[in-house]
Amino acid sequence: MLRRRIPSLISNAFRSAPVFTKPTSYTPTINSLHNPIHHQSVGVQGIRAYSLLSLNDLRDNKGATKQKTRKGRGIGSGKGKTAGRGHKGQKARGTHKFGFEGGQTPMRRRMPKRGFNNPFSLEFQPVGLGKIARLINAGKIDSSELITMKTLKDTGAIGKQIRDGVRLMGRGAEHIQWPIHLEVSRVTVRAKEAVEAAGGSVRKVYYNKLGFRALLKPEWFEKKGRLLPKAARPPPKQMDKVDSIGRLPAPTKPIPFPTDTSASPA
């Protein structure tokens, strides 16, 4: 009798069992998000909802990072065996020098040349009379003494890198109201006229590379235990562009220009 009733009891139990449906979406309320008790998680019907501020949910944007291609790690990766180099040939083996194009004339030889570099060109640092006048007014330069290229370098009138000398420019010539005496490598016509009009003088002197070092940094020779070199003569092409040979060490008194006293007898 009991055996006959078991199937019916089982079928009735399945029919009367409560049916639970999974919610399609769940949006936690504002109060539950800001509640410190429910800050970590909110559980409704067995579903765990994480907070929007969880550190374990931080991710890089899609495509922000890319893994390095691993070559020679099996044919399944697409970069195995020959590692994307193909079969045999020069490019499949060792490297070749930069610019090599397989034997044809490379680009650097196909392009024509433009211009040239003059090995005899000279580069002078410019300095204006206005800057020298400001330094004199500031008390950095003594106008009663000879102003040399070392004086200009020590006072900051020019930069530290003096390649071939200093060129005196006429910028600010109206500020020169007192006689000054200078020794530079080159001078413009306007600057020379302005200095001579104020009662001063400008002498163009020649120094070679070693002479410039002895003029600007005489302590270097003393540190090395060497004597100052003798002043070098200018090359023939620069003889007519300078007035005299530069003096070493740095002079403090100007050399007066020779006056033309030759006069025809009456």
Q: How far apart are CA 69 and CA 138, in angstroms?
A: 66
Q: Is 105 helix (H, G, I), strand (E, B) or coil?
A: coil
Cα 216-221-222 angle, rounded to 5 deg = 110
Q: How many residues does the chain have?
A: 266
Cα 106 off chain centre by: 31
Q: How far apart are CA 212 and CA 235, in angstroms?
A: 16
The CA-based diameter of the chain, rounded to the nearest angstrom, is: 171
pLDDT at 133: 93
Q: In this structure, what is the dihedral angle of CA atoms 229, 231, 235, 236, given to the nearest 10 degrees? A: -150
**Tokens in use for 129?**
């009379």
Per-residue pLDDT of the chain (266 residues; tens, 9 = 90+): 555 666 666 666 556 555 545 555 544 444 444 444 444 444 555 555 556 778 888 889 999 999 999 999 998 999 999 999 999 988 888 888 899 888 999 999 999 999 999 988 999 999 999 999 999 999 999 988 999 999 999 999 998 888 899 999 999 999 998 899 999 999 999 999 999 999 999 999 999 999 999 999 999 999 999 999 998 999 998 999 999 999 988 888 887 777 655 544 44
Residue 166: which H helix or E strand, with range? Answer: strand 166-169
Regarding beta strands 125-128 and 41-44, do their DSSP bridges make them parallel or antiparallel, or are they unpaired?
Answer: unpaired
Amino acid at the residue 142: D
Q: Whose CA is closest to 169, among 122, 202, 211, 216?
A: 202
pLDDT at 90: 84
Q: What secondary structure letter does DSSP report for 252?
A: S
pLDDT at 188: 95
| Alpha-carbon distances, residue 92 vs 69, 76, 84, 103 (angstroms) | 18, 20, 9, 17
Contact 208, 185 (CB under 8 A): no
Q: Whose CA is closest to 182, among 220, 211, 156, 149?
A: 149
